[in-house]
Structure 1
Amino acid sequence: MEITKVTLKDLPEIVRIENLGFTPEEAGTKEQYQDRIEKLQDTFLVARIDEQIAGFVVGPAVKEKFVEDWMYENTPKNLPTGGNQIIFTIAVDPKFRGHSIGSKLLKAMEDNAKKAQRESISLTSLEKNLPFYLKNGFKNLGVADSEHAGETWYNLVKVVD
C-alpha cells in the first residue's frame, strides 16, 4: 500500500467510496469533492493498493480548533503552516476494511500535520465510530455543536507533538 496526494483523476473513485460509507445526508457531493481536491492538495491523502484507491482522508488546515458545519459547504483553504488540521472525512472501501488502512491514513495525516507545525488534529464522529478514533489516540471532548445530517456528532481531538 502507498499513500499519495489526491489527483483530479481520483474524483470518481473518491465519490464512490464516500457513498459506500455514508448516508446521502452525510456524504459529500461530487462538486464538494472536486472543490476539496482543488483547494486541499496538501491535506487530501489517498491510500492505493495495486493502483486501486482503497481509502482516503481529507480536511483543511485552519485557525479553528474544531470542525464547523459551514466548512462542509465552503471549503476553507489550507494555512501554509500552524493552525489545526481538520478532518472532514476518512473513508475506506468496504472490500479493503480490516487491514488498518484507516489507521495508516490517520498516521500519514498526523505526520503531515507535524511537518506543517499544526497544533492539533480534530474531527467529528458518530458514536458508533468512537472506538476507532480512541484507539488511534484521539480524545472525545463530547457532543459537537453540529447539525450536520441531523445527527449527533462528537468532537475528537489529538494534540500534534
Structure 2
Amino acid sequence: MKYDLATMEDLNEIMDLERAGFNKEEAGSEEVYKDRINKLHDTFLTIKNDSGKLIGFVVGPAVKKRFVQDEMYDDTPLNLSQGGHQLIFTIAISPNYRGRGIGSKLLSEFENIARKNHRESIALTCLEGKIPFYEKNGFADQGVSASSHGNEIWYNMEKIIN
C-alpha cells in the first residue's frame, strides 16, 4: 500500500468512497471535494492498494480552532503552515477494505504529517457508534458537538499530539 497526497486525478475514486461511507445529507459534493483538493493539498492524504486503486482517504484543515465547525464544511478554510490544530473532516475506507486496520494506519500517517507541522492536536466529529474506533486510536471523547451537520448527533474527539 502507498500513501500519497490527493490530486484532481483521484476525484472520481474519492467521490465513490464518500458516497459509500456517508448518507446524502452527510456526504460532501464533488465541488466541495475539488475545493478541498485545491485548498488542503498538504492535508489530504490517500492510500492506494498495490494496483494503484484508491482505497481510503483522510482530509481536513489545519486551523487555529480546536474543533470542527459546521461552516467549515461549506467554506473550506486554508491550512496554517505551522502550528494550530489539525482537524479531520472525513476519513473514508472502501467497503472492500474495512476491518483490515486501514483506517488506523491512515490516521497514524496523518498524525505524522500533523506532528511534522507542529500541530497541537488532531480533532474530528463522529457518530456515537464510531467513538470506540477513535478511542482505540488514542482520541478522547470530548462530548457532544455543537454540529448539526447532516441532522445527526456528533461527538468531538481529540488527540493531543504536541
TM superposition score category, shorter chain reference: over 0.9
Instruction: Map residues 25-104 of structure 1 onto 2, 5 A cutoff.
Output: 25-49=25-49, 50-104=51-105
Secondary structure, in 3 states, of the residue corresponding to 1:42? Answer: helix
Structure 1 counterpart of 2:111? 110
Letter in 2 for 1:85: Q
Give the alignment's Cα RMSD to 1 decimal: 0.6
User: Post-superposition, which runs of at least 4 consecutive aligned residues in structure 1 deviate over 6 A?
Assistant: none
Residue segments in structure 1 that go unaligned for 5+ positions in a row: none
Task: Provide the rounded CA distance (Å) in 1 between the counterparts of 2:12 and 2:2.
Answer: 19
Deviation sequence 1:47-80 (CA, Å, 0-9, x none): 0002000100000000000000000000000000
Indicate the residue corresponding to 2:24 in structure 1.
24
TM-score normalised by the chain length of structure 1: 0.99
Equivalent residue letter for 1:159: I
How many Å separate the matches in 1 of 2:161 and 2:89?
Answer: 17
Q: Which runs of 5+ in 2 are unaligned?
A: none
Aligned to 1:14: 14
How many residue pairs were aligned? Answer: 161
1:148 is aligned to 149
Deviation at 1:99, TM superposition (A): 1.4
State the percentage of identical aligned residues: 53
CA distance in 2, matches of 1:2, 1:160: 24
- Letter matched to residue 119 of structure 2: R
Distance in 2 between residues matched to 1:15 and 1:95, nearest whole Å = 16
2: CA distance, partners of 1:104 / 1:62: 23
